[in-house]
Structure formats: C-alpha cells, structure tokens
Amino acid sequence: MEQEKAIIIENLTKLYGEHVGVKNLNLSVDKGEIMGFLGPNGAGKTTTIRSSLGEHVGVKNLNLSVDKGEIMGFLGPNGAGKTTTIRSSLALISKTAGKITIFGLDSHRDAVAIRKKTGYLPGDFGLIPSVKVKSYLKYLLSLNNYPSTKKMTSLAERLELDLDRKTNELSKGNKQKAGIIQVLMADQELIIMDEPTSGLDPLMQQEVYRILREEQKQGKTIFMASHNLAEVEKVCDRVAIIRKGHLEVVEKIQALQEKTGKVLEVEFSDPVSVDEFKIKGVSEIQEDNGKLTLTIHENLDSVIEAVSRHRILNMNLRTYTLEQLFLKYYTKENRKRGDA
C-alpha cells in the first residue's frame, strides 16, 4: 500500500526573470562639476556598470513528495533553491510552472486552508520589537484560533527561553528558540522549517532534535531545509539534495550511506601491501606509514580476514557522514557538468 503523501511537488519551476539594470546608457560628467543622478528605486542608478542582471533560476522541473508522518531533510548550499521551494509551496511567492498539493489541497488556490494546517519557521524569522515574547507568541496563537498556551509554556521551559523578556533583548539563539516555539505551539499537522537550529548551541540543538522526534510520534509531518548535514543525519528519515535549482537525489539516509559504503581505518605495526586488500567491493584504498584507509561496499568478512593476518594497533569502522556523501555527490556532478 502506497504511503499517504503530505506534500507533492510536480515539475515546480520558479524563474525570477530577466531584469534590465540599465540599457544603452550614455552619460558624461565634466571635471569639477557635481552631477545629480535621479530616478526612483530600481531605476538602475546603482547598476550602471552592467547591462543586464540576467535570468535567475530558483528551481527548475523539481519533483518531490513528502510522506505523511515522516521527517524529510532538504539539503543544499545557500542559493540552491531550498527557500524558493518552501515559499512556492506555501504560496508566499508565485511559481512559474508546476503543481504543488499539500494534504490534497492546491498550494495556491487553497493557501488559506493549508496555512491553518501548517506551522512555518522561515530562515529569516523576525519578531515585533519591544514586546514581551509571551505577548508576541500569544498573538500568533490567536491568529491560529488556538487558545491554549500549555504547549508554548512547555516548549519554552525545555528550550530555556524566558517568555517575559522583551523581543529586542533576545540574542540570536534566543530569537531562534522563539521561532521554534511558534512553529510547534499550535499543534498543526505539517511543520515546515528553514534552517531550524541556526544560532543554537550543540546542547540545545540536541533538545530540538528530541522535540522533533516526539512531534513525529504524534503524527506530525516535518519538512526541514538545512545545510547542517549532521542534524539531518540525526533526525531525518529521508533526505533530498538540491543543487542550483535541480533535485540531485532523494534517498533514505540509511540507504544512501549503504550505497556509498563504510570506511575502514586500520593502523598496523608492520608494513602491509595495498594489493592484499584489492578485494571485490573495496575501493579508494590508501596507505600511509602503516595506516590503511579503504571504502567497503561488500565482502566485509573478507576484508576483516585480510586485516587479521597482521598485528593491529588501532582500527575504526564507520559509515560516511552526510557531509561526505553530500560532497561526493556534488564532486561527481561537478565533474559531469564541467563546473569549476
């Protein structure tokens, strides 16, 4: 039986269009004179050295679905198209082409109904200045017609945020905590987060991960964009990697790691031959002063048998981190496309 979908994105394309900064401009300034340069905002006063800013692709022909009840990680560097995808899905920006449905509702036609079911933490989360955090969060709850403050208070305690502080007194980390509270406190079915742990210390990040797993157990669907690969590895069920507006891969994290293999590092007390470890399913063999590093895709037993023939000083078997996987996909794609 096919898993019920929370989000379906089909052939999403967002082009920001060609913007002409200046065109066929001829101007001279006499030596010694003061020349005024007048025009409304966007007229091209500050872009005179360029003739066109060109067409910018936010995302192109992106197809992605998020299963109901899963935590999906959406990975990519800054400018890859993560925020564009999210904002298009929530009808915060118009899309050029494609179709997006959330819980079976059209993302643009049914935007109001979708927002009632969806909590959203933007990457540039802002606060109204000079009001108590509690007052601000209560105001947001009122917009959702959600009268209870119980969950708001509980989350604030867990995240160690003083709700009686003024918003303008908060550090970057505490502002992020307020953002996390607001996205979860109304108990909505879908949680969309853009860089959720930005500015948080490692201990608080771990608490956020625990909270997200608890939310998932309660049936929530969580879609989180991040370039923090370690957090996606810890908390997500699947990961989608986006690059320059194109979706590169969608995989379960465990499956992605299994495809890439495990890394074995062994330090020997005696010299070893690299040829001894040229076994089927083994790649990227490196030897340096008695320390052997190799990647194992299959035949782990044969590798361990070969290792056991020697005196071992130290040995470590680990899976690839998502960061290594991420760089591996991008390096491969860069070579394929001829990117710098």
For residue range 186-207, list pLDDT tens digits in order.
999 999 999 999 999 999 999 9
Q: How far apart are the first and last CA of the chain?
A: 44
Q: Say if residues 165 and 134 touch (Cβ distance below 8 Å).
A: no
How many Å apart are CA 65 and CA 239, to the nearest integer? 11
Question: Which amino acid, one-letter code, is at 25?
Answer: L
- The reported pLDDT for the residue numbered 76 is 85
Q: Which of 218, 313, 253, 206 is nearest to 74 (CA)?
A: 253
How many Å apart are CA 123 and CA 111, to the nearest integer? 20
Average pLDDT, the chain: 85
Q: Which of 336, 324, 124 is nearest to 246 (CA)?
A: 336
Q: Which of 7-21, 44-58, 140-154, 249-263 has the lowest mean pLDDT?
A: 44-58
- The reported pLDDT for the residue numbered 54 is 47
Instruction: Look at residue 11 and give its three-state secondary structure.
Output: strand
- The reported pLDDT for the residue numbered 53 is 36
Q: Which of 3-7, 30-34, 104-108, 288-292 has the lowest mean pLDDT?
A: 30-34
Looking at residues 230-252, what average pLDDT do you find?
Answer: 89
Please name the residue that has the structure tokens 């009268």: 147
Percent of the residues in the chain that have a pLDDT greater than 90, as a whole number: 54
CB-based burial label for 107 (10 Å; 0-12, 13-18, 19+): buried
Looking at residues 209-232, what average pLDDT do you find?
Answer: 92
Instruction: Look at residue 86 and give its three-state secondary structure.
Output: helix
How many Å apart are CA 19 and CA 25, to the nearest integer? 15
pLDDT class for 48, splitting at 50, 70, 90?
A: very low
Work out the number of other CB atoms within 10 angstroms of the CB of residue 216. Answer: 18
Residue 18 scores a pLDDT above 60: no
How many residues can be counted in the chain? 340
Phi, psi (deg, nearest 5) at residue 150: -60, -45
| Tokens of residue 195, six digits | 């860089």
Q: Which of 42-46, 62-66, 229-233, 325-329 has the lowest mean pLDDT?
A: 42-46
Residue 280 scores a pLDDT above 70: yes
Q: Which of 54, 52, 51, 44 is nearest to 17 (CA)?
A: 54
